[in-house]
Amino acid sequence: MARKWFGTDGVRGQVGDSIIHPEWVLRLGWAAGHVLTADAPDRPRVVIGKDTRLSGYMLESALESGLAAAGVDVLLVGPLPTPAIAYLTRTLRADAGIVISASHNPYQDNGIKFFSADGYKLPDAQEEAIEAWMDRPMTLSASERLGKARRVDDAAGRYVEFCKTTFPADLNLRSMHLVLDCAHGANYKVAPMIFGELGATLELLGAEPNGININDQVGSTHPAALRAAVLRTGADMGIAFDGDGDRLLLVDDQGELLDGDEILWLLARDMCQYGELSGVVGTVMTNLALEQALAGCGVPMLRAPVGDRYVLDAMRSHGYPLGGESSGHIITPANTTGDGILAALRVLAIMRRRGEALAALRGGYRPFPQVLTSVRMAGAQILLDQPVARQLIADAETRLVGTGRLLVRPSGTEPILRIMVEAASAGMAADVSAILTAELGKLAMAHAPARGC
């Protein structure tokens, strides 16, 4: 069944449009309350967390009202990273968890994503069931069965202690100098607590949210400030999160950036040496170099569709303990979704055990040059189904035969056509990308709907 509203990670859009609007979100909460707690006991409970966007207050109230109308009690935990909501949903024995966030998007956007009682992203069937419920007339539970809400005052502390338990008890971060870039987002409070309590000396970027500065020239989508801070301060490592804390990028002590693929390589190589790795799950965007490096260690790699929920589905079905995306979603055995803090702690543990700087650990992996571009447009899949577009893509693939890969796909979260070109040489990747992006851009303009006066 085609879904009307849910993308690869819940629903997302600009605040005030037909979806990210209090009236619609109230109905979403009501529908989700019925679907996610259908098998719950007499008083079902749902955890609600959010990032630091100003619109989160409004949407939190709307969700709370919709859930209460469905007879669901609400546990409010305030601004916390997405992986914290997955963890708290499990440990508080809630029937579901909800995160109000648009991840790496600017503050004008927001979104809603869901976790089931076991802390995993919802399967397609449940999202489709929620959409079906939204078409029903909205009715209230009996007055005596309406839900109520309360705040979980120690929610942040619970997650902080959980994260610290994943770091080896015989190690600490004393004498380590770290730069943390929290993207003015959901990690602004808990990340400094975790790394500071483990002993690190910290310099903070993006840790002063005001409701509208989330992801604004900071965080994993804008690493320039982090690189500059690492070089200026002589830090051992820079750590960048995105707005909701489920992504991670690193900067080594030489100012060089490590993306999600290289972080996966570091973790996979370490786990393999300890006999903890049966396989790794990447995505169709994962650099070919990672697949080849893992093969050299005798470790298989599967490619899932883009989206950490699909990576996790493949990990669970094949029994693989590690997976992630180039963008920095890294899923380790300790949590049920991408968790930037846990992945960073694992890298730091490797550095501590080996007594080596991050730059020295990067041997054995050299990524293929990769060029990522996008064309902003609505109806990307419709365009891709046209013969002219298919021929343009086929011509580009012909140029890359034996030397690289091409991937053209609609974004699951934005009205964008994404284009990835990977080749053995940077020149070839740039040339093929420039031609294909320009031609598909022209085709998109030619097929754009006419605007009225």
Query: So which residues are the catalytic ones?
Result: 103
Q: Are 9 and 413 in contact (CB under 8 A)?
A: yes
Own/partner long-range contacts of 120-123 (Cβ < 8 Å, ≥24 apart) = 120/86, 120/309, 120/312, 120/336, 120/337, 121/9, 121/308, 121/309, 121/312, 121/337, 122/36, 122/309, 123/313
- Which residues are CB-contacts of 324 (< 8 A; sequence separation ≥ 6)? 260, 261, 263, 264, 281, 282, 308, 311, 330, 331, 338, 343
- What stretches of 51-120 show up as alpha helix (H) in DSSP? 55-69, 82-91
Can you name the residues that pair with 421 across neighbouring β-strands? 371, 406
Residue that has been written with the tokens 């571009």 in this structure? 373
Q: Return d(Cα 313, Cα 293) in angstroms, integer.
A: 23
Q: Are 362 and 146 in contact (CB under 8 A)?
A: no
Cα of 241 vs its chain's centroid, Å: 10
Q: Are 115 and 303 in contact (CB under 8 A)?
A: no
Q: Return d(Cα 15, Cα 261) in angstroms, integer.
A: 32
| The pair of three-digit structure tokens given for residue 127, joined into one six-digit string | 């999202």
DSSP notation for 113-162: EEEETTSPBPPHHHHHHHHHHHTSPP-PPPGGG---EEE-TTHHHHHHHH
Nearest to 101 by CA among 249, 222, 214, 221: 214
| The pair of three-digit structure tokens given for residue 358, joined into one six-digit string | 């991050």
149-151 sheet: strands from edge to edge: 11-14, 109-116, 96-100, 45-50, 73-79, 149-151
Q: Return d(Cα 121, Cα 390) in angstroms, integer.
A: 33
Q: Any idea how long the chain is?
A: 453
